[in-house]
Amino acid sequence: MKKHFRLPLLALLLASASLAATSCSKDDSDSLKVQAHEQNTMMTIMHDMMKMMDGMAKTQDPDQDYSMMMVMHHQGAIKMAQEELKNGKDTQMRDLATRIIAAQQAEITQFNAFLAGHRVETPLVPAFNTRQMMAMDKMMRANDLRVITGNTDRDFAQLMQDHHQSAIETSQAILDLGRHMETKALGQQIIDSQMMEIKEMQEWLLKNKGY
């Protein structure tokens, strides 16, 4: 009896192995591909932006420092969105990138207008810069933990979430510690719009994550 079943069983095992290999080969073509962070354009934009913000001379006036920092932060987002328009293929992510560029360019204009007419005020509020840098450090840790694929649409949706979250947390700090209605209004606007965009990116990733 053993001799009778040995050959069919072996054939069945070999056929199963062949099918599994074929299946793995097919899945591999659609599976998650990982790209080194230092080779990724959007990660480079994020790190360059962080270096600029780290080099910013802090005044300890929350409205002044928030406005100066958010100009740099928005410029980073615009560069990432431009990279999405250059190399991204997904219609929804390209549309989001276009909206981000328009909104954040307009906000940069508003921040610069505020800075043009503002002088550093006392008393100084070092607590704002503490919260600001905590938000930015959290952003970069989150970025560095991301699995980067080299797929522009996915990388944009992932990294921009972290970028937006740091803007939301910093804007909340200006609502708590700022002194001017202009910056507080901009802060609330950023919170409201970027929370909605984070939700959009999360929902898109759930449908298009590729693994």
Compute the Cα dihedral for 152, 155, 161, 163 and give only its sign: negative
| CB of 154 closer than 8 Å to CB of 84 | no
Distance between alpha carbon 110 and the CA centroid of its chain, in Å?
A: 23
The model's confidence at residue 209, banded by pLDDT at 50, 70 and 90, is: confident
Q: Is the pTM of this model over 0.85?
A: no
Asked if residue 196 belongs to a domain, the reply is yes
Asked if residue 36 belongs to a domain, the reply is no
Q: Which residue has the higher pLDDT, 38 or 173?
A: 173
Q: Is the pLDDT of residue 19 over 90?
A: no
Asked if residue 38 belongs to a domain, the reply is no
The model's confidence at residue 26, banded by pLDDT at 50, 70 and 90, is: very low
| CB of 136 closer than 8 Å to CB of 53 | yes
Residue 32: its pLDDT value, please?
Answer: 63
Residue 37: its pLDDT value, please?
Answer: 61
Q: Is the pLDDT of residue 148 over 90?
A: no
Q: 211 vs 30, 33, 90, 177, 206, CA distance in Å?
A: 8, 9, 17, 43, 10
Q: What is the mean predicted confidence (pLDDT) over 6-25? A: 44
Asked if residue 79 belongs to a domain, the reply is yes
DSSP one-letter string for the chain: -HHHHHHHHHHHHHHHHHHHHHHHHHHHHHS-----GGG-HHHHHHHHHHHHHHTSPP-S-HHHHHHHHHHHHHHHHHHHHHHHHHH---HHHHHHHHHHHHHHHHHHHHHHHHHHT----SS--HHHHHHHHHHHHHHHHHHHHS---S-HHHHHHHHHHHHHHHHHHHHHHHHHH---HHHHHHHHHHHHHHHHHHHHHHHHHHHH---
Asked if residue 67 belongs to a domain, the reply is yes
Range of the domain at 196: 60-208
Q: What is the mean predicted confidence (pLDDT) over 38-46? A: 81
Asked if residue 29 belongs to a domain, the reply is no
* Residue in 114, 137, 105 with CA at minimum distance from that of residue 65: 114
Q: Which residue has the higher pLDDT, 160 or 30?
A: 160
Distance between alpha carbon 33 and the CA centroid of its chain, in Å?
A: 19
Q: Is the pLDDT of residue 29 over 80?
A: no
Asked if residue 27 belongs to a domain, the reply is no
Q: How many domains does the chain have?
A: 1
CATH of the domain at 127: 1.20.1260.10
| Mean pLDDT score of the chain | 85
Asked if residue 45 belongs to a domain, the reply is no
